[in-house]
Structure 1
Amino acid sequence: MTTALVTGATAGLGAAFARALAAERRDLILVARDGDRLAATAKELTEKYSVQVEILPADLASDDGCARVEARLADADRPVELLVNNAGIGLRSGFVENSIADEERMLALNVRAVMRLTHAAVRSMLPRGHGDVLNVSSVAGFGPTAPGSTYSATKAWVITFSESVHLTLKHRGVRVIALCPGFVRTEFHQRAEIPTADIPDALWLDADDVVRDALADLRRGRPTSVPSVRYKVLGGIVRYAPRPIFLRVIGRAAKAVGRGRQN
């Protein structure tokens, strides 16, 4: 039985990944800050799927938290076959309105933790000649957004980073993929206090569907996964539209948002 490590595993996409992987009869290592929620999640998965579940409380925005998870990934006697880098945060306001402490925490969690854990995982996987890393990004990473400039930049980094490592390692048996969903019904927006009332129902995705598509794309050896036809189309428009035109559209959106904040 293989083992998967999932970060941000107690809610949203992380919890959906944990359920899907447990259903495949994989043993799990669950990482999150809240030890009590981790224990409750582990108990539920163990009882339902009869798998072994290890919990690892850690704040991945901190050096100590990353180091704890890196050590577990490097344990050659208990190999991890799949790393799911899901932990991440967004902020309600744009770059100027946010505190620099919040901006730095977002960078630490969305970028630095992904880099550190991927590095630890692939260095352990390469001698075995196999292993998988799935990094959760977003369609927001395909281009600038308004507001929220740092969030989209962190997700753009995850996409480019994952694609680069994928190209480097795919011939050595290690697969790396960036998952780029759109709006998913999870706790993410609520925790960040991001309003969602104006988002059309058609743009929302189900977390279990996103996870199913992501794991299928990983097994196909794809470098990126964009769930659902509608987001493949929207993501393609954002990613491949002529840059001057796209920036003009985003600039107008940013101006409209700015006027709305002043009223």
Structure 2
Amino acid sequence: MTKDYGNATESRITEVVNACQKYGSTSIIALAGVPGTGKSFIASIAAQRLTNEPLFVREIQFHQSFSYEEFIEGLRLDAGGGVETKPGIFLEWNQQALDDPENNYVLLIEELTRANIASVLGELMTYVEHRNRSFLTVYSRKPVKVADNLTIIATYNPTDRSAIELDSALLRRLRIIRFPPDTAQLKEMLANNGIQENVIGQLEGIFSVCRRDHPDDFEHLMPFGHGIFSSITSESPDLHELWTERIEHLLKRPLIEPHPFTTTIENNYPWRDIQYKTTSDN
């Protein structure tokens, strides 16, 4: 039985699933948003629903040293000291999809823009769109087609430097779904955690005031999303500890100018002070 996550969350899941079904055979479905906006959560659930089988979903995370050899194909030393070609993560998963055309497969890439994307993807940037054509891998020179039943879902932070520098060739292969902080999902999440309505309202207010005071920058500069509150199960001491252990460090770092939303958030986050009188104290 499929779990119901609430109307707001289910709406986002459905949006991603629909995009995958409509464009997943020609594009990379990319979920873009600042940290804590539920991109990974939604992407994982959407992938499971698209395939109807957890074993048909492969999750990986890009990082700065991730290479073409790891993703597509590389050279490895064999037991005898010789050199052999070895398929990377993509070619392995793509082959499974090619061998099983009756089922849907998903490759979920977290932190897409943390790697040198053009270098890692190589010729795949063209052939993820043109799946009726084969490309030759760099080392083995074997022809490969991207499986029609393989969908690539990716997540990324649009404020990462590498995301800002995305070239038009890659952007043409992306179907970008924006994931701003969502107060409707925040309300569902915290109500499920047993948080009282007035506290939820105060937390919703932080995002609303930031959007009001910084309308042009809110979506891509908000230092955190609603997901940062996912572990909150009580007003005190959770919200104070969240401030001192996480939020404060996102706003102010040594030798760096404070985040432009710092004053707005500080003025609307009463739990900064450990002496704050919580609802349970009244």
User: Which of the five TM-score ranges fits, normalised by the shorter chain?
Assistant: 0.3 to 0.5
Per chain length, whose mean CA-contact separation is higher, i.e. which structure has more relative contact order (CA < 8 Å, sep 6+)? 2
Q: TM-score, normalised by structure 2?
A: 0.33
For the pair shown, the structure with the greater C-alpha radius of gyration is 2
Q: TM-score, normalised by structure 1?
A: 0.35
Structure holding more helix per residue: 1
